[in-house]
Amino acid sequence: MTPPDSAMQALYKQVVMEHYRRPRNFGNLPDATHAEGGHNPSCGDQLQLMLRLDGDRIEDARFTAQGCAISVASASLMTGALKGKTVQEASALILAFTGMVRSGEAAPELGDLAALRGVHTLHTRVKCATLPWQTLQVLLEQVRPQDGA
Amino acid sequence: MIHPPPEISRPAPMLDVRADFPLFAHRPKLVFLDSAASSQKPAAVIQAMADFYAHDYANIHRGAYRLSANATDRFEAVRDQAAQFFGAPSRDGVIFTRNATEAINLVAHSWGQLHLNPGDVVLVSEMEHHANLVPWHLITGQRGARVEAVAMTPDGRLDLEDYGHKLRDLPVKLVALQHVSNALGTVHPARQLVEMAHSYGVPILLDGAQAAPHLPLNLDALGADFYVLSAHKMLGPSGVGLLLARPEALRGMPPYQGGGDMIREVYSQHSTYAPLPHTFEAGTPAIAEVIGFGATLEYLGGLGMARVAAHEHALLSYALQRLGAVDGLQLYGPPDDRCGVVSLNVLGAHAHDVAGFLDEANICVRAGHHCAQPLMRALGVASTVRASFSVYTTPADVDALADALSEIVQFFAETP
């Protein structure tokens, strides 16, 4: 009999490896209107996030990254979820996602992103999962002043 | 449990000291392989600090009462003990800091302020950890000087030819090199590095943070002008570092920090400073921790640093054999002249993911760039998994690591 998967094996098998091996929305976005780099100084992971905005709406999102499986999977799922959302909806998603990986509770608007809920049991990996989202946060801060203008 | 292949025999442990470390009694299943980041502490060290706090605590160098005088005596006795343990040229050159990083900052700012001028070079290496780079970036930036790095060889040694050329061709004012690599465990030829620097009349600082826990040292024989280390990496308390300097090298250097204890006379408008070593010890130090460090030196002296080195070397050889037999692992660093550090990657997996799986198996390692980003660039990787040893590490710890890594290799190979 094979031993049951550990929490980590289960998480990796369910979603992480699939997005790590075949990340969605990976590559440059030549007509990006906004771009931001993210960096985790403690492990050296790097991420470049690119968005094309039409007014308040995110039309397209792509990323490139040199990072661990959890950070790449998180960026892959995040960029997928962002397409078609408004800046306000994206900001709400940041809160919902960071809340989920800290508490383990997945809000309904997270959709497919709920697959990363298991990260909350891996305290040392929360930073990996949130790196793309922190980068998104910084990027969206560039957008907001124009909204008010 | 996967047993070691028959051709690889487990070494008989030279040291059997696990029972001296209370953490392992509390966490019997823990495989602790992150001693290069910070080591565990023997009961003797923990007890010495607890006893001092419970029975003898007072501030030092200032109380007009016996309790304080006794604390002062005990604190100063550790200075003598350290001078003797490391073969320091003089107790006046034994300066307590918070850690090795602060000791390097002390030299960078105080020595640099006195000696560095526009155009001067501080020579480091590509292999340094950030603590032996950033302080030099700061001071050379302030003084109009610059930092140059000695190259490393592909197998992770210092390129001695490049070192010689840079000493000859550049206006080098100070050499600042690691004694042992924190990321690869490479033991550099310290005596040769010192002789080469001195042959050009250049003083040298050696960063011994990763050497002092593993190797016997005699600094008088080694001849380095400055040598730094941290207590917490060598079974001692956190909050204590040492700058061990030849007193001549410290001459004329201005105080690093101002405050109590480092003064002779203070007026409203100016002050004069205390003689060595107190010039460089402003404010109340980590008194109980320094006393704990005295117990550390006693403990290590009892084991004998030659036996510590032999124990770790036997484990390293065993680890290199066991891990070398696992397909799908990339090992870094030279095959010999190594301390008890193994740096590796699982092919096709990120170091952080590997460390996460090891953590699930109760195995503590470090993953990342090990505060040595230039070295990682030279190796062409973003990060590695690092397993590091100490006196309490056992062949069973190495087996646990090799077995877990075999399973992780398999998991990453089988999971689509």
pLDDT tens, position by position, B181-196: 999 999 999 999 999 9
Does the pLDDT value for residue B228 go beyond 80? yes
Give A7's contacts in chain B (Cβ within 8 Å).
360
**Residue B371 falls in the annotated catalytic set:** yes
Is residue A97 within 8 A of residue A115, CB to CB? The reply is no
Query: What's the gap between Cα A19 and its chain centre?
Result: 11
pLDDT of residue B162: 98
CB contact under 8 A, A67 and B415: no
Q: Which H helix or E strand runs over A72? A: helix A69-82
pLDDT digits (tens, 9 = 90+) for B342-378: 999 999 899 999 999 999 999 999 998 878 888 888 8
Does the pLDDT value for residue B97 go beyond 50? yes
Cα–Cα distances in Å, from B156 out to A66, B187, B338? 23, 10, 10
CB contact under 8 A, B360 and A6: yes
pLDDT of residue A3: 65
Beta strands in chain A (DSSP E): 34-40, 45-54, 57-66
Does the pLDDT value for residue B35 go beyond 90? yes
pLDDT of residue B373: 83
pLDDT digits (tens, 9 = 90+) for B317-330: 999 999 999 999 99
pLDDT of residue B1: 53
Give A125's contacts in chain B (Cβ within 8 Å).
352, 356
CA distance B372 to chain A (A): 10
Which of B229, B233, B216 lies closest to B301, judged by CA?
B216
pLDDT of residue B49: 98
pLDDT of residue A147: 52
Does the pLDDT value for residue B404 go beyond 60? yes
Give A47's contacts in chain B (Cβ within 8 Å).
none
Domains of chain B by residue range: 18-36+305-414, 46-302
Give A66's contacts in chain B (Cβ within 8 Å).
382
Catalytic residue among B187, B211, B323, B371: B371
Q: Measured between alpha carbons, how far is B233 from B211 in angstroms, rounded to an integer?
A: 10
Mean pLDDT value across residues A2-11: 78
Q: Is residue B416 within 8 angstroms of chain A, CB to CB?
A: yes
Shortest CA distance from A127: residue in chain B? B352
pLDDT of residue A149: 42
Which of B160, B147, B158 lies closest to B378, judged by CA?
B158
Residue type at position B237:
P
Mean pLDDT value across residues B143-165: 96
Which of B281, B207, B220 lies closest to B247, judged by CA?
B220
Residue type at position A76:
S
pLDDT band for position A148 (50/70/90)?
very low
Q: Which one of B2, B134, B352 makes the best mutation probe of the A interface by having the most chain A beta carbons within 10 Å?
A: B352
Mean pLDDT value across residues B297-317: 97
Task: Indicate the residue of B351, B356, B369 with minimum beta-carbon distance to A8.
Answer: B356
What residue has token string 């050329």? B165
pLDDT band for position B261 (50/70/90)?
confident
pLDDT of residue B217: 98
- Count H helices and E strands in chain A, helices first: 5, 3
pLDDT digits (tens, 9 = 90+) for A21-31: 999 999 999 99
Window A:59-118, CB contacts with B under 8 Å: 66-70
Does the pLDDT value for residue B338 go beyond 70? yes
CATH of B46-302, one of 3.30.70.20, 3.40.50.620, 1.10.630.10, 3.40.640.10: 3.40.640.10
pLDDT digits (tens, 9 = 90+) for B58-84: 999 878 899 999 999 999 999 999 999
Cα–Cα distances in Å, from A45 out to A37, A81, B348, B351, B385? 11, 22, 16, 11, 14
pLDDT digits (tens, 9 = 90+) for A18-67: 999 999 999 999 999 999 999 988 777 899 999 999 999 999 999 999 99
pLDDT band for position A144 (50/70/90)?
low
Task: Indicate the residue of B350, B359, B415 with minimum beta-carbon distance to A124.
Answer: B359
pLDDT of residue A145: 59
Mean pLDDT value across residues B162-175: 98
Q: Is residue A18 within 8 angstroms of chain B, CB to CB?
A: yes
CA dihedral B44, B46, B48, B54 (to 10 degrees): -140
pLDDT of residue B410: 94
Does the pLDDT value for residue B166 go beyond 50? yes
Window B:334-393, CB contacts with A under 8 Å: 349-353, 355-357, 359-360, 367-369, 373, 376, 382-383
Q: Which one of A2, A15, A43, A128 makes the best mutation probe of the B interface by having the most chain B beta carbons within 10 Å?
A: A43
pTM of the model: 0.92
CB contact under 8 A, B382 and A45: yes
Shortest CA distance from B377: residue in chain A? A44
Task: Indicate the residue of B350, B369, B415 with minimum beta-carbon distance to A68.
Answer: B350
CB contact under 8 A, B359 and A6: no
CB contact under 8 A, B353 and A68: yes
CA distance B350 to chain A (A): 5
Shortest CA distance from B408: residue in chain A? A9
CA distance A117 to chain B (A): 16
**pLDDT > 70 in chain B, percent:** 99
| Interface pTM, i.e. ipTM | 0.87
pLDDT digits (tens, 9 = 90+) for A86-99: 999 999 999 999 99
Query: Has domain B18-36+305-414 been given CATH number 3.40.1280.10?
Result: no
Rg (CA), chain A: 15
Task: Indicate the residue of A6, A21, A69 with minimum beta-carbon distance to B353.
Answer: A69
Q: For chain A, list the domains and their CATH numbers.
A: 26-143 (3.90.1010.10)
State the Cα angle at B336 between B330 and B341, rounded to 5°: 60
CB contact under 8 A, A67 and B376: no
A96-102 contact pairs (CB < 8 A, 24+): A97/A130, A97/A133, A98/A130, A98/A133, A101/A126, A101/A129, A101/A130, A102/A126
Mean pLDDT (chain B, rounded): 95
Does the pLDDT value for residue B265 go beyond 90? no
Shortest CA distance from A13: residue in chain B? B415
CB contact under 8 A, B415 and A70: no
pLDDT band for position A7 (50/70/90)?
confident
Window A:126-145, CB contacts with B under 8 Å: 128
Q: Is residue B407 within 8 angstroms of chain A, CB to CB?
A: no
